[in-house]
Amino acid sequence: MSTHTEETIALDRRHVAHNYAPLPVVAASALGAWITDVDGRRYLDCLAAYSAVNFGHRNPEVTAAAHAQLDTLTLVSRAFHSDRLAPFCAALAQLCGKDMVLPMNSGAEAVESAIKVARKWGADVKGVPAGQGTIIVARNNFHGRTTTIISFSDDDTARRGFGPYTPGFRRVEFGDADALAGAIDDHTVAVLLEPIQGEAGIVVPPG
């Protein structure tokens, strides 16, 4: 390891919260599928920021759109309408065959919102008594790191020390359709599954 790499990692250890264990690579720039580190070594990026840059680092269409927007209107919050949000949601809704879209900044927020939507639907539409809706999840799931999401994880490193946990979840074996069907009852408001489990390995459910 070079001095530059070592010094940066040492600074990271001192000042960046120890909530992650990165590989000992200090990225300095990237283009397409290739990352260059601070010493000029090149790496083929097979992670793509856990799919956030599946379109490639510095994809020219994406960066051009981002630059153009920053030069036009930075942020309005949801206190105002913007001329971009409605057309974006309309296009995404059409692509997904849905009526409405609620954009989120991260996967964990998306899952949190889905949990809230399901619970409210359970109470308001299905008629589940208040506070008694249950959501069925799979063993060895990974859906993010918020307090509610780690409450239904069975990964000790994600959970330990963060209780008290959010109730209302029931775990079944991933890929066991009979166990899943058997877990559904009058209080079930949703089933929450990864189509292919990622953090648990690459676990493809049986066909």
Ligand X SMILES: Cc1ncc(COP(=O)(O)O)c(C=O)c1O
Smallest distance from the beta carbon of 152 to ligand X, in angstroms? 12
Q: Is 176 in the site for ligand X (CB under 6 A)?
A: no
* Binding residues for ligand X restricted to 119-148, rule: CB under 6 A: 142-144
Q: Is 158 exposed, middle or buried (0-12, 13-18, 19+ CB in 10 A)?
A: middle
Shortest approach of ligand X to residue 126 CB, angstroms? 25
Interface segment toward ligand X; rule CB under 6 A; list 17-25, 104-112, 158-166, 172-180: 104-112
Binding residue count for ligand X, defined by CB under 6 A: 10
Kind plus residue range of the DSSP H or E element containing 172: strand 169-172
Residues 22-51 that bind ligand X (CB under 6 A): 50
* CB nearer ligand X, residue 43 or residue 142: 142
Choice from 43, 53, 107, 140 touching ligand X (CB under 6 A): 107
Could you identify the residue written with the tokens 């942020």?
Answer: 75
* Min separation Cβ 18 and ligand X, Å: 17
Q: Is position 106 an interface residue for ligand X (rule: CB under 6 A)?
A: yes
Q: What are phi and psi of 171, to 5 degrees?
A: -100, 140
Residues forming beta bridges with residue 43, ordered by sequence position: 35
Q: Which amino acid is at 91?
A: A
Min separation Cβ 93 and ligand X, Å: 21
Contact of 112 with 149, CB cutoff 8 Å:
yes
